[in-house]
Amino acid sequence: MFGIERLPKRQRQHKLSGAIEDNPFITDEELMRLFQVSIQTVRLDRLELGIPELRERIKLMAELSYDQVRSLPLHEVIGEVIDLQLDKSGISIFEIKEEHVFSRTQIARGHHIFSQANSMAVALINDQIALTAAADIRFVRSVKLGEKCVAKAYVRSITKGKAKVEVITYVGDEVVFQGNFIIYHSTKDRLEGGEPDADSD
C-alpha cells in the first residue's frame, strides 16, 4: 500500500507511530500488511519507539479507565473499558472466545453482545446507583469466534434520575449491534448534560 520499506527508518517509524495513534487496536500483523514490511520490522520499530504490544496497550488504557467507574464493580463490566468520560462517552473491547459461542456454528450468543453494551451504558453514569430501565436493541449481524467487538457508548441526555445512552458495537468498521438504553440513577441534583450532537464514528 504505502511501500514504506524503502523509506528512511525515521520516516517509516513516524508513519507507524501515527497509525497506532489513530487506531490503538491495530495488531502487528495488520501493521505488517498495511506497510508491506516484515513482522520483525514492525516489532523492532515498536520497541525502538517505546510502544508496547497490543495487549499491553489495551491493559494500560483499561487501568486508566477502571479507576473512574462508579456504578459497577470491575468484574461486572463486560469487556475491557479502554476509554471513559463519565456522563459523556466511553469505549470497551470484548473478544469473542469459545465460551461465548454456539459450538455448532461458532457464532456468538446474543446475550454476550448485549451484556457488553448494557454494562458500558451503566458504567458511563457518574453515580453509585445506576440500573437499566429499558432497552431498544438491534442485532445488525452475527459475530463470530475470534472477532473483537468494540462498543462505543454516548450519553445522549441526562437529568435528575434518568439518562439516555446510545451504544453502537463494531467489528472493524462494520456495525454489528445498536442499542438505546434508559438508565435510572439515584435522584441527586445534576444539570442536564450528555452529548446530543456527538456522532457515532
Most confident of the following: 74-78, 94-98, 126-130: 94-98
| Domain spans, the chain | 4-51, 71-185
Give 28: exposed, middle or buried? Use CB within 10 Å, 0-12, 13-18, 19+. middle
Q: What is the mean pLDDT of residues 169-180?
A: 96
Tens digit of each residue's pLDDT (9 = 90 or more) over 19-51: 888 777 788 888 888 888 889 999 999 988 888
Q: Is the pLDDT of residue 1 over 50?
A: no
Of the candidate ranges 22-26, 70-74, 122-126, the one whose mean pLDDT is the lowest: 70-74
Q: Residues of 6-22 as b/e, b for ≥16 C-beta within 10 angstroms? A: eeeeeebbeebeeebee
Share of the chain above pLDDT 70, in %: 82
| Chain position carrying cell 456522532 | 199
Q: Is the pLDDT of residue 141 over 70?
A: yes
pTM for this one?
Answer: 0.66
DSSP 3-state of 197: coil
The CATH-assigned architecture of domain 71-185 is Roll (3.10)
Helix 39-49 and helix 9-22: axis angle, to 10°? 80
Tens digit of each residue's pLDDT (9 = 90 or more) over 79-107: 888 888 889 999 999 999 999 999 999 99
Tens digit of each residue's pLDDT (9 = 90 or more) over 3-19: 444 677 888 889 899 88
The CATH-assigned architecture of domain 4-51 is Orthogonal Bundle (1.10)
pLDDT of amino acid 10: 86
Taking all residues of the chain, what is their mean pLDDT, rounded to a whole number?
Answer: 84
